[in-house]
């Protein structure tokens, strides 16, 4: 390595990559460490889980993304420990790395609020393997239902429950309703659209709690038009292989999908900080954890109240802004400039419901319906990484829109599952 300052970025998600790219022309050496070889566009992962897109459509190798950035290198490895005194990052396979600045952007996984026994019966979707595993479950349930003679078993096979009414839960429920009730109905001889039941179970008193109330209601109506049963103020008490208990009543269901909670990665532990309830590291307005001015914690890993007193949400735009901010702060300090505190710019939120509806809240503008959906499509294509993925997703969506077909209906993984 050269003698230039060394910036180590842990995590190649939205935050980490934004930081690496913003350091492109800075007089530093950058090392990005990730335990996976690919950057994943998580907002579209539910479409992989519902057979609309292929994994490669929404993922790209981190190496390719940074290939032309001469001051950066990529390591496929898993961080096990950070020695803050010695400024060393320890990994599973590679030699420890010294850092001048460290950016921790390791994201979050789903959390079962302490009920880890539910995990095998209610998978979440955070990685490609999660998504193909959910896809396998959903498709196998439909296959089994086609030949099942016992009515109760058949109904349980055709009942799909999504737990959690945030954007992921809403998008997932809409997509499953389309898959189970429309896309595949012609392919089966015994399953008709009316056989399948999709439930969306939400603890709060409305869907999309971070959106304006009017849009929550629009989202509920749009989901119900697709045939989704929305249960609000519904508390999940138990999940078993046979179904789940909600507010004291048992819903027999073979497929339950978890979109209810996330837990930050173990970064707090590495850094010796006390995590908050969601496992996040508290950072100040400069995105440093307490007393560590050479460490930035960003994205879903951090709990950040910005200079305007606003808590940053766990969404991709916040992670990207924080990544770019950390890069700028490093450049400022290298050239002796003062570092401004971080201010989150909220460009709004959007969530799609099924094939042609969405809700968007952009500043004071609230949109719903087809126009919002078009905007959602354009925004998601725009933010995808690389021309190839953009083309590929655009074609899949046009195809899906015109034909109602889902192109990626593959049961893979446990090869011989029947």
- The C-alpha torsion from 187 through 188 and 194 to 196, rounded to 10°, is -100
Closest to a copy of itself by CB, 142 or 170: 142
Closest to a copy of itself by CB, 92 or 364: 92
By CB under 8 A, is residue 388 in contact with a copy of itself?
yes
Closest to a copy of itself by CB, 278 or 392: 392
Total number of residues binding a copy of itself (CB under 8 A)? 55
Q: Do the Cβ atoms of 314 and 304 come closer than 8 Å?
A: no
The CB-of-336 to a copy of itself minimum distance in angstroms stands at 30
Which 88-147 positions form the footprint of a copy of itself (CB under 8 A)? 92-94, 127-129, 132, 139-140, 143-144, 147
- How big is the chain by its Cα radius of gyration, in Å? 22
Candidates 171, 178, 340, 405; catalytic one: 171
By CB under 8 A, is residue 381 in contact with a copy of itself?
no
Q: Do the Cβ atoms of 284 and 264 come closer than 8 Å?
A: no
By CB under 8 A, is residue 416 in contact with a copy of itself?
yes
> By rule CB under 8 A, what string of x and - marks binding of each residue 30-69 to a copy of itself?
-----xxxx---------------xxxx-xxx-xx--xx-
- Interacting residue with a copy of itself among 19, 75, 104, 226 (CB under 8 A): 75
- Interacting residue with a copy of itself among 186, 194, 343, 370 (CB under 8 A): 186
Q: Which stretches of 202-345 are assigned E, i.e. beta strand?
A: 228-231, 236-240, 243-246, 249-252, 255-258, 262-264, 281-283, 295-297, 302-304
By CB under 8 A, is residue 362 in contact with a copy of itself?
no
Closest to a copy of itself by CB, 238 or 417: 417
Give the long-range contacts of residues 84-90, CB within 8 A, separation 24 or more: 84/271, 84/272, 84/292, 84/295, 87/294, 89/8, 89/10, 89/33
**Non-local CB neighbours of 82 within 8 Å, separated by 6+ positions:** 88, 89, 90, 102, 270, 271
Stretch that binds a copy of itself, among 14-22, 103-111, 343-351, 389-397 (CB under 8 A): 389-397
Distance CA 55, CA 41 (A): 10
- Interacting residue with a copy of itself among 77, 100, 269, 284 (CB under 8 A): 77
Largest CA distance in the chain: 74
Distance CA 94, CA 96 (A): 6
DSSP bridge partners of 83: 88
171 is catalytic: yes
Could you tell me which of 239, 201, 200 has the C-alpha nearest to residue 119? 239
- Interacting residue with a copy of itself among 100, 240, 392, 397 (CB under 8 A): 392
Catalytic residues: 171
Q: Which residues in this chain contact a copy of itself in the complex, by CB under 8 A?
A: 35-38, 54-57, 59-61, 63-64, 67-68, 73-78, 92-94, 127-129, 132, 139-140, 143-144, 147, 184, 186-189, 388-389, 391-392, 395, 399, 405, 407-413, 415-416, 418
């Amino acid at each position: 390595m050269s003698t230039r300052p060394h910036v180590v970025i842990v995590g190649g998600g939205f935050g980490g990559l934004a930081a690496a790219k913003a350091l492109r022309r800075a007089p530093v050496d950058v090392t990005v460490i990730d335990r996976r070889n690919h950057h994943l566009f998580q907002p579209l992962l539910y479409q992989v889980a519902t057979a609309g897109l292929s994994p490669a459509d929404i993922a790209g190798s981190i190496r390719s993304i940074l290939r032309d950035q001469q001051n950066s290198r990529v390591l496929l490895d898993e961080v096990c420990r950070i020695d803050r005194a010695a400024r060393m990052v320890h990994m599973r396979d590679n030699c420890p790395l010294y850092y001048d600045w460290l950016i921790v952007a390791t994201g979050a996984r789903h959390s079962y609020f302490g009920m880890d026994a539910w995990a095998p019966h209610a998978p979440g979707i955070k990685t490609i393997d999660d998504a193909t595993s959910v896809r396998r479950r959903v498709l196998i349930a439909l296959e089994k239902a086609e030949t099942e003679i016992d009515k109760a078993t058949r109904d349980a096979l055709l009942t799909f429950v999504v737990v959690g009414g945030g954007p992921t839960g809403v998008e997932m429920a809409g997509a499953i309703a389309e898959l189970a009730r429309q896309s595949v109905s012609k392919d089966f001889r015994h399953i008709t659209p009316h056989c399948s039941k999709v439930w969306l179970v939400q603890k709060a008193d409305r869907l999309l709690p971070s959106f304006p109330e009017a849009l929550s209601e629009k989202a509920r109506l749009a989901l119900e038009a697709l045939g989704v049963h929305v249960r609000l103020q519904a508390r999940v008490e138990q999940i078993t292989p046979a179904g789940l208990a909600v507010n004291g009543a048992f819903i027999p269901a073979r497929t339950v999908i978890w979109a209810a909670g996330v837990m930050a990665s173990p970064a707090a532990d590495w850094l010796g900080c006390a995590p908050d309830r969601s496992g996040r590291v508290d950072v100040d307005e400069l995105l440093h954890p307490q007393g560590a001015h050479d460490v930035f914690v960003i994205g879903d890993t951090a709990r950040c109240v910005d200079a305007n007193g606003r808590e940053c949400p766990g969404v991709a735009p916040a992670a990207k802004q924080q990544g770019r901010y950390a890069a700028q702060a490093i450049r400022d300090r290298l050239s002796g400039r003062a570092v401004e505190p971080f201010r989150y710019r909220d460009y709004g939120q959007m969530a799609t419901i099924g094939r042609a509806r969405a809700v968007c809240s952009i500043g004071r503008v609230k949109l719903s319906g087809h126009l919002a959906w078009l905007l959602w499509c354009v925004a998601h294509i725009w933010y995808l990484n690389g021309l190839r993925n953009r083309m590929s997703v655009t074609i899949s969506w046009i195809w899906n829109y015109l034909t109602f077909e889902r192109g990626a209906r593959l049961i893979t993984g446990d090869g011989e599952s029947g």
